[in-house]
Amino acid sequence: MSSPQPSTLRVGRRYRANRLESGYDAIVIGSGIGGLTAAACLSKLGKKVLVLEQHYTAGGFTHSYDRNGYEWDVGVHYIGDMGSRKTMGRRLFDLVTDNQLQWAPMDPVYDRLFIGERQIDLVAGPKAFADELKKQFPDEERAIDTYLGYLSQVSAAMPGVTLAKVMPDLLASPFRFLARRKAPDFLNRPTRDVLLTLTRNEELIAALTGQWGDNGLVPNDSSFIIHALIARHYLHGGYYPVGGASEMAKTIIPVIQQSGGEVFTYADVQEILIEKSKAVGVRMADGTEIHAPAIISNAGVFNTFGPLLPESAPHKDFYQMKLGQVQRSMASVCLYIGLQDTAENLQLPKTNFWIYPGTDHKQQVEQFLADPDNHDIPLTYISFPSAKDPSFTERYPGRATIEIVAPGPFEWYQQWADKPWGKRGDDYEALKEEYAQRLLEKLYEKMPHLRGKVDYYELSTPLSTDYFCRYPSGEIYGLDHTPQRFEQDWLKPKTRIPGLYLTGQDIMTCGVVGAMIGGLLTTVAVGGARSLPLAKKVFAG
């Protein structure tokens, strides 16, 4: 495996203190999709917003990188609800990109589950989805229909859950009726508990929860809220951004710039400035202080209320106590693979593979983490991005890419955490190589014709997530989506510290659209009544 070389794919303008302007209305710490969404929406309100990103490229987990003649997306593998401009997610993307981002549909079978020896396809369209499952489980028709009804009930309840994040400011708004929708009793129960009320068929439960890797928490522990949101999000199929995930930041940044704002990379924020008990600005690693009336953190709650917030800040003890009531989400590894042929010639599908050794997701994870050498990998996710992106062959002729994601605890790699990126030594590389070979074998089991076709591969670990995205335990989904997490009333845009706001996946849910909704809610919290027409355009159409 070749040594990693720096990527040349950059989005955003490089930070220099002399490039800063005056009169910023808001500063956003971090350029993940939630921060970019908040900045773009505030720009639509005429606000001059400065986005500061410590990485060399903007986009957070939506960024792409290229190396050795290939390009990969680090976190975006597919998005749902992009086939119609009438869905909330598509309306939000169109708003923040001025309709510049284009989408390509995946195959009708968007997710293929391998559970033990059994293959189960998830097919686009609610009826096709149900029909395929009923074909696989002919004695479970009632359970499948009830399950789809449950997904609809969660969807109907979510506007109230969402708008509660910015109440009571909206109580007199046109959204009042949305907040009053009654939530079903099962809304925030553990996912597996809810499904056990519908069926005792363990293979069906394993199939219905076969996308649990999209939130990183096994169904025994996750809230049915996140399960239902993800499952319904893909009911009409999966979509992929034309040009790759980096097109998201590329198309959003011009909208931020329309009102005088800017997105700077290599811009390392060290501390949030507090004066007279208010957040008034940020201090950069070079000592520069930048001021604005609104400071928006897209850095996650552990970073925001930890190293970024001074010890003397008001309410810091309160938030430190609250951090003890939530947990960091799972860490993972990702194997980036390059092949010297086209996706078409290699017969790569526009379908994701989810590979499980059996039906008991929780037990398989626990056994693997306790003894990884003697137990099968509990979840292997395989994505074929070059097949999904119709522009890939034009941009990279004669090339194709594959990505494989699997669990990879931070603790496995912790002893090398203080070593510089790219120079962590032979032992670290050997450990990575061993896991990489196991993941390649998973690929060859399902696609044996690819054996011998791999030109290049490299494995990223939780240390990469920490280095590039400042998630110190490699927690790709921010906070675990447990029932307890959804009971935390402090996970909302407006903090107890005047002038300080949160945005991104921690205040709503993980996922690109979940983080974007977080960005929109932050816009409402900052913009007040002026933001309501914009929010109504997204939420109500």
Render pLDDT for 115-131 as a digit per residue (tens, 0 to 9): 999 999 999 999 999 99
The number of angstroms, rounded, from the C-alpha of 420 to the middle of its chain's C-alpha atoms is 26
pLDDT band at residue 521 under the 50/70/90 scheme: very high
The residue out of 182, 203, 233 marking a domain boundary is 233
Sign of the dihedral defined by the CA atoms of residues 235, 241, 244, 250, in that order: negative
| 507, 518 contact by CB (below 8 A) | yes
190: DSSP letter: B
Whether residues 265 and 359 fall in one domain? no
Say whether pLDDT at 2 is over 80. no
Whether residues 305 and 214 fall in one domain? no
Please report the pLDDT score of residue 167 as a whole number.
67
Whether residues 347 and 445 fall in one domain? yes
Strands (E), 495-537: 500-502
Please report the pLDDT score of residue 181 as a whole number.
60
Say whether pLDDT at 180 is over 80. no
- Please give the Cα distance from 289 to 286 (Å, whole number): 9
| 274, 313 contact by CB (below 8 A) | yes
Number of domains in the chain: 3
Q: Domain of 434? A: 329-478
Whether residues 516 and 448 fall in one domain? no
Whether residues 207 and 261 fall in one domain? no
- Please give the Cα distance from 350 to 104 (Å, whole number): 10
Whether residues 466 and 427 fall in one domain? yes
**495 assigned to some structural domain:** yes
The two tokens of residue 150 are 């449950």
- 192-246 pLDDT, tens digit per residue, is 999 999 999 999 999 999 999 999 999 999 999 999 999 999 999 999 999 999 9
Whether residues 461 and 497 fall in one domain? no
**105 assigned to some structural domain:** no
Whether residues 282 and 313 fall in one domain? yes
- 299-343 pLDDT, tens digit per residue, is 999 999 999 999 999 999 999 999 999 999 999 999 999 999 999
**2 assigned to some structural domain:** no
**439 assigned to some structural domain:** yes
The two tokens of residue 222 are 């996750």
| 184, 177 contact by CB (below 8 A) | no
Whether residues 449 and 509 fall in one domain? no
Mean pLDDT in residue range 17-27? 97
- 250-265 pLDDT, tens digit per residue, is 999 999 999 999 999 9
The residue out of 432, 459, 478 marking a domain boundary is 478
The residue out of 428, 452, 478 marking a domain boundary is 478
**107 assigned to some structural domain:** no
Whether residues 356 and 413 fall in one domain? yes
- 363-374 pLDDT, tens digit per residue, is 999 999 999 999
**449 assigned to some structural domain:** yes
Q: Is 227 helix (H, G, I), strand (E, B) or coil?
A: helix
Please report the pLDDT score of residue 165 as a whole number.
86
Mean pLDDT in residue range 176-197? 82
Please report the pLDDT score of residue 427 as a whole number.
93
Please report the pLDDT score of residue 417 as a whole number.
86
- Please give the Cα distance from 338 to 69 (Å, whole number): 8
- Please give the Cα distance from 461 to 175 (Å, whole number): 43
- CA dist list (Å): 390 to 103, 110, 343, 365, 540: 10, 16, 10, 35, 32
Whether residues 450 and 342 fall in one domain? yes
Please report the pLDDT score of residue 420 as a whole number.
81
Exposure class string for 89-103: b at 16+ Cβ within 10 A, else e: bbbbbbbbbeeebee
| pTM, two decimal places | 0.95
**494 assigned to some structural domain:** yes
Exposure class string for 168-195: b at 16+ Cβ within 10 A, else e: eebeebebeebbeeeebebbbebbbebb
**469 assigned to some structural domain:** yes
Q: Is the bond leading into 390 cis (omega within 30 degrees of zero)?
A: no
- Residue 182 backbone dihedrals phi, psi, to 5 degrees: -75, 135
SS (H, E, C) 419-473: CCCCCCCHHHHHHHHHHHHHHHHHHHHHCHHHCCCEEEEEEECHHHHHHHHCCCC
- 487-509 pLDDT, tens digit per residue, is 999 999 999 999 999 999 999 99
Query: How many other CB atoms sit within 10 Å of the CB of residue 43?
Result: 24
Whether residues 462 and 494 fall in one domain? no
- Please give the Cα distance from 71 to 336 (Å, whole number): 9
